[in-house]
A = this chain, B = another copy of it.
């Protein structure tokens, strides 16, 4: 009655998960070993080193959380925010809103700085909020808003926060490996990402990195971290091979195999080359979209190469078009979220999706399906 599942062939060009290279799929299927096996400890160390490389950081506290990006986000907030702490949260899309939820559930007081969906965070507004709230402990923002395709100036916002003694929590779920993300040079304090975006691994893990100031804040907490699973002092003991690895949870062994392989591939390509590849594919896509008469949501200066928000033309059936792309072309693109639902499509060029042949395939499929829709409407 129940059969093994065979997924349909798909070209994934939405907001993630993105396509996974056969090398990474194969790595994930190698036989499981124990999470306390010395061979696995070696793999954990190498995965940490490769993540440091991808994050451009020397932070010792760099590792994948054993759960999706939302858990990486929550780890940052529950460890760095204590009850009563004031946190400036920059909201210019869905994920800024989720950060606000996390602040409040951690007992913090959220001060929201809003920007229009599709625009980057305005540093001048952050400066103003810091002036009004000199007791701010943390400034939280999304580097690359997956819901809108806008890239914000992480360095400028961080400089403002640091000038006033506040830490930053940075959502780099979509930015890691797709655009420059220089954790040490920009002095980012706490950063979380996801495995299924520009790292081109399967979903399920959340790489995070924490700098010295974040660690100091955690060490000096007066209250216990409300989450046991995400308590950084426990998780870091588990990932600390030099310190003898104290048992916390059971790491998702095969998922780490896969992440390691994706990171080895990124290292082989070179991080700058990966950034350039995303940029090149983005330019190819934007040119093709313009040729189809389609408009981008985000101003050119703030566009994310890896997440392209395209305005849905008047009279086109959003869901119908996406259904047709999937059914006839095995192509997945993303819908708009929240207030952009029905107004944009999100075309992802993340990791393995960022190849010229995928861009061309996507453009051809869009052209065909848009043509069908306009014919049907006429």
Contacts and interface: CB of A to CB of B under 8 A. Distances in A.
Contact of A337 (B7, B30, B247): B247
Interface string A212-232: 000000000000111111000
Interface string A255-283: 10110110110011000000000000000
Contacts of A251: 68, 203
Contact of A254 (B32, B35, B38, B202): B202
A63 to B, nearest CB: 15
Residue among A27, A32, A101, A326 having the largest count of chain B Cβ atoms under 10 Å: A32
B105 A227 contact: yes
Contact of A32 (B17, B37, B255): B17
Interface residues of A, number: 81
Nearest to A203: B250
A229 B70 contact: yes
A84 interface: no
A3 B257 CA distance: 12
Contact of A67 (B43, B66, B102, B194): B66
A228 B70 contact: yes
A26 interface: yes
B35 A203 contact: yes
Interface string A347-375: 00000000000000000000000000000
Interface of A: 1-10, 12, 14, 16-17, 19-20, 23, 25-40, 43, 46, 50, 66-71, 73-74, 98, 101-102, 104-106, 194, 196, 202-204, 224-229, 247-255, 257-258, 260-261, 263-264, 267-268, 326, 332, 337
27 contacts: A2-B268, A4-B27, A5-B46, A7-B40, A7-B257, A10-B31, A14-B36, A17-B35, A28-B28, A28-B254, A34-B332, A35-B203, A66-B67, A66-B68, A67-B71, A68-B229, A69-B250, A70-B228, A71-B71, A71-B249, A98-B228, A196-B250, A204-B253, A226-B226, A227-B227, A247-B337, A254-B258
The 3 A-B residue pairs with the shortest CB-CB distance in the complex, in nearest-first order: A204-B252, A29-B29, A67-B67
